[in-house]
Each structure stands twice: as C-alpha cells, then as structure tokens.
Amino acid sequence: MKIGYARVSTLEQTLSVQLDQLQAIGCEKIFQEQQSGKSADNRVELNKLLEFAREGDVIHVTKVDRIARNTIDALKIADILAEKNAGLVFHDLGDIDINSDVGRVIYTTISAFAEMERKRILQRCNEGRERAKAEGRHLGRLPNKSLHNRIQELHDRGMNKHAISKELGCSRTTVYRILSPNISI
C-alpha cells in the first residue's frame, strides 16, 4: 500500500501542496498533521503511521524535513519501518528508498543537515532576541491597556479578584498581576 505523510509546523501553514503531491503519487492513505517537527514523540499522526505500516507498504514523504528535524529521530523512524519491511521514499531526494544501502547513507546525511539547519535557525532567532533586548525593544505581547484599566476599575468598585476574572474572561493570574505589579506570581 502507498501511504503518505504530510506535516507543517504551525496552524497558519497549509498542507495543500504536500497533499496534492501525495495524491498525485497515488497514496491510498495519508497521515497529516500540523505540529512542530522538533520531536517525533509529540507527533500523534506520525506515531499512528508507524503503527499502521505493514510489510510491503511504502511510506511517501515530499521532503525529508517533514518527517524528522534531527538525525536521531530520522534514524529511529527509518529503523522502525525497516523492521516492518516497509519502504520509505523521499521525493525531494529523487524518489530514493532509504532501505537501500545508498539510500540510508543519503538519508542520514540529509537528516544531519536538516538538524544543523534547525539549530542555525534557533541560533539566529536567539541572536535577534538578544539584539532587540540590547536595543531596548519590547519582546512578547504588548499589554492590553483597556483590559488593565477595566480590571482596575472593577477592583476600585469593590469587586473581588475572582469575580473580576470571571466578569472579564481573563485568568486570575492576570488580575493579580495587574493589581499587585510588584508581587511576582
């Protein structure tokens, strides 16, 4: 059976391009998810696919980094499928099956580069955050001044903190933080 796997990292991204490619290949079943590729452990659909795969099945993935973002996960996934005598084909590697000797070497190398790319992206993000902090720029969400003013107004009228959080649909932590800015919660 031809089985497809498609993944994007965030809810804002779309799976449509990958799904179109997998359907064009003739995948009879496609596992899809919108989940970070950081760790294979948190990916429910990937784990379902690994459970579902049987001898003779071939798993089709449009790009190597869709199934694993680090070398250890990539090799674990390959080993699980190899034990089941299931194939794994990456279409960005010229449709190479990683169960062949050459395919395994290429897969390992590409996986290592995907892991290095992820680490470099994180490093650049951290450098950007540090630069922004040094320049005094605000990081994170901006405060909701109208909510803060409303919390203060209700408190001034005598409403208790729990009732304020219920009334405004915000957490009690937010209410406490606004009303007691010098206390760390």
Q: Residue for token digits 């009228």?
A: 157
Active site residue 184: no
Q: pTM for the full model? A: 0.60
Mean pLDDT in runs of 10 for the chain (185 residues)? 92 91 95 79 88 94 83 84 89 74 77 80 90 88 88 94 93 91 57
- CB environment 138-169: b (16+ within 10 A), e (fewer): eeeeeeeeeebebbeebbeeeeebeebbeeee
Q: Which of 9, 111, 180, 184 is catalytic?
A: 9
Task: Please tell me the predicted confidence (pLDDT) of residue 40.
Answer: 64
* Strands of the sheet with 2-8, listed across from one edge: 29-34, 2-8, 58-61, 87-90, 96-97
Task: Please tell me the predicted confidence (pLDDT) of residue 185.
Answer: 46
What does the alpha-carbon distance between residue 32 and residue 161 come to, in Å, rounded to a whole number?
A: 43
Nearest to 90 by CA among 109, 72, 117: 109
Task: Please tell me the predicted confidence (pLDDT) of residue 36.
Answer: 77
Reduce the DSSP state of residue 88 to 3 states and report it.
strand
